């Protein structure tokens, strides 16, 4: 005799989530943490990148001190701009393709550091303001550039690209690459989804 649908629902609702198995590395247990840093990039358990953005914004903001110091000493706008490009912007762009789908709040926090740097360089607008692209624009360009490289069959991330034919050539739908199905907003904001959409909109 088969179970009634109500029984199925009750079993589904009362089923407990299985406890993940314990992992060991070199005989030592691997601890479960909310966030972990690898190669200088912080990954949190929700993949929200909040801790990474906070870390990079804090680090870059501290380096604005050197920009203020050099400005007070009379360094030229062009030289100050080079200092910013060499010392501060790389901090804000470390692993930035992963942040191409970041939240608006995260985007504003990152952009705020560059705007502060430009105000320091230009003495609050009393001098020439360097004409630099936004960090968001640079993230998008970098994401598309990486995606184009991934379309090459020799690229180590080539297998992540959806919509390839058996010949290895990209499958085109309405002139663009097929966007993989995503059931969650987190996946929709991921690098691959955002990069494909940007690529298709070119």
What tens digit of pLDDT does each residue of 167-190 get? 445 544 555 788 888 888 888 999
Assign 3-state DSSP to the chain and report helix, strand, coil percentages, each to 5: 50, 10, 40
Q: 81, 99, 132: which is the final residue of a domain?
A: 132
pLDDT band at 59 (very low <50, low <70, confident <90, very high): very high
Helices (H), 73-134: 77-83, 89-92, 104-121
pTM check: above 0.85? no
Instruction: Provide the percentage of residues in the chain whose pLDDT is more than 90.
Output: 63
Considering 112, 132, 152, which residue would you say is the last residue of a domain?
A: 132
- One domain, residues 126 and 94: yes
- Predicted confidence (pLDDT) at residue 40 exceeds the cutoff of 70: yes
């Amino acid at each position: 005799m088969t179970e009634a649908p109500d029984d199925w629902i009750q079993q589904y609702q009362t089923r407990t989530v299985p406890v993940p198995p314990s992992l060991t590395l070199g005989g030592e247990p691997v601890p479960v943490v909310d966030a972990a840093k690898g190669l200088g990039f912080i990954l949190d358990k929700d993949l929200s990148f909040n801790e990474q953005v906070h870390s990079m914004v804090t680090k870059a903001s501290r380096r604005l001190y050197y920009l203020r110091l050099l400005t007070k000493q009379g360094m030229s706008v062009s030289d100050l701009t080079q200092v910013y490009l060499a010392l501060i912007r790389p901090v804000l762009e470390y692993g930035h393709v992963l942040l191409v789908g970041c939240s608006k709040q995260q985007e504003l926090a990152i952009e705020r550091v560059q705007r502060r740097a430009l105000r320091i360089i230009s003495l609050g607008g009393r001098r020439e303001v360097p004409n630099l692209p936004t960090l968001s624009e640079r993230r998008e360009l970098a994401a598309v550039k990486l995606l184009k490289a991934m379309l090459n069959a020799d690229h180590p991330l080539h297998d992540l690209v959806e919509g390839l034919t058996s010949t290895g050539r990209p499958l085109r739908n309405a002139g663009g690459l097929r966007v993989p199905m995503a059931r969650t907003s987190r996946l929709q904001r991921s690098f691959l989804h955002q990069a494909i959409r940007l690529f298709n909109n070119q």
